[in-house]
Amino acid sequence: MDLLKSTICLLFRKPDRFFSIEKVFQQLEPELSKKISVEQWTAPNGYASPKSIIENLKAVKKCNGDVYHVTGDIHYIVLALPRNRTLLTIHDCIFLYRSAGFKRMLLKWLFLKIPVSRCRMITTISEATKQDIIRNTGCPPDKIIVIPDPVDNTIQFSAAEFKKQEPVILFIGSTKHKNLDRVIPALENLPCHLRIIGNLSDYTIDNLKKYNINFSQQSKLSDEAMAQEYYRCDIVLFPSTFEGFGLPIVEGQKAGRPVVTSNISPMKDVAGAAACLVDPFDVHSIREGILKVVNDDNYRQQLIEAGCQNVNRFAPSEVAKQYLACYEKLLSL
């Protein structure tokens, strides 16, 4: 079947306080629309109660497309879709590590094992998440295709003089795996300003003061405001201990900023050879990485130049091509 004569239904969860999935496909939709007709469907219910799940499964049957793409989160929706024409994107498996006992078992079956077995093709955003899916489901590796997230077009390269005497270090996120608890002692008494995007607990604020960290905090920023944060900083610090992808790495690179990130997958894979890699579990390693970027002018410039090259593989047009190839394959079955 010809792509140009076909329709892809992009299936979304009900919007909540996070919009990461929606943001990804907002970037891709204009590129996809050049080759295939795109329709979007949003689940009427958000909370994953039995009633909500049943109502969402009933509602999605009204969709009428040639190919169905479950864009993430509501993985169970594949149960109501034609197997041979359904693509499921799994962004990460972190929900399994936030639960235990019966709840974890239930989530594993309903949101991972059964959906994986009930669709023709799966995409995920990193090799690390692909291996996570295989470990937890036994899925054949050739059924899973790694397609990265696109970098935001709102962010553009913006050259700026590096403030070596007191650099602004941008840190995005405040959940435990973002690793702020190790970053704080790593920055003890360093002449810098730590700019945190995310909500802070009283404990974290006390800890920042204990280690004599000059900091400021903001949250709930628009895409435009977030782009300004990248432009105003000197270093992007992203030493996360767990990610499905790690978009701040390529966003920082696209803005023209040196990036310090984790030497584990998927962060090191996303960064390529264009970031300073540190051990996220070692406070000393994080500190040494920051100091190297601050003090070594040639190294810092090499990171910036390599980052500008690295981001090309995450352009929306390049990522859209990979999804279109998947749709074409499904249409040919």
Provide the pLDDT for residue 80. Answer: 96
CATH ID of 168-313, from 2.40.110.10, 3.40.50.2000, 3.30.499.10, 2.60.40.10: 3.40.50.2000
Provide the pLDDT for residue 18. Answer: 56
The predicted model gives 256-260 an average pLDDT of 98
Query: In terms of Cα–Cα distance, which of 304, 290, 305, 306 is closest to 164?
Result: 290
CATH number for region 3-150+315-332: 3.40.50.2000
Average pLDDT over the chain, rounded to an integer: 94
Note the pTM of the prediction, 2 decimals: 0.86
Provide the pLDDT for residue 228. Answer: 97
Residue 100: other Cβ atoms inside 10 A = 9
Provide the pLDDT for residue 82. Answer: 95
Provide the pLDDT for residue 272. Answer: 93
100 pLDDT more than 90 = no
Query: In terms of Cα–Cα distance, which of 220, 217, 212, 224 is closest to 169?
Result: 217
Provide the pLDDT for residue 98. Answer: 78
* Tens-place pLDDT, residues 115-143: 999 999 999 999 999 999 999 999 999 99
Do 3-150+315-332 and 168-313 show the same overall fold? yes
The predicted model gives 286-309 an average pLDDT of 98
DSSP 13: P
Query: How would you label 302-333 residue by residue, b for 16+ Cβ within 10 Å and e otherwise?
Result: ebbebbeebbeebbbeebbeebbebbbebbee
Exposed (0-12), middle (13-18) or buried (19+): which is 261, by Cβ within 10 Å? buried
In percent, the amount of the chain with pLDDT more than 90 equals 83
Torsion of CA 62, 65, 69, 75, to 10 degrees: 20
Torsion of CA 255, 261, 173, 75, to 10 degrees: 100
Domain assignments of the chain as residue spans, ordered by start: 3-150+315-332, 168-313
In percent, the amount of the chain with pLDDT more than 70 equals 99
Provide the pLDDT for residue 17. Answer: 58
Position with higher pLDDT, 212 vs 97: 212
Position with higher pLDDT, 194 vs 46: 194
* Tens-place pLDDT, residues 219-230: 989 889 999 999
Tally the residues of the chain: 333
39 pLDDT more than 70 = yes
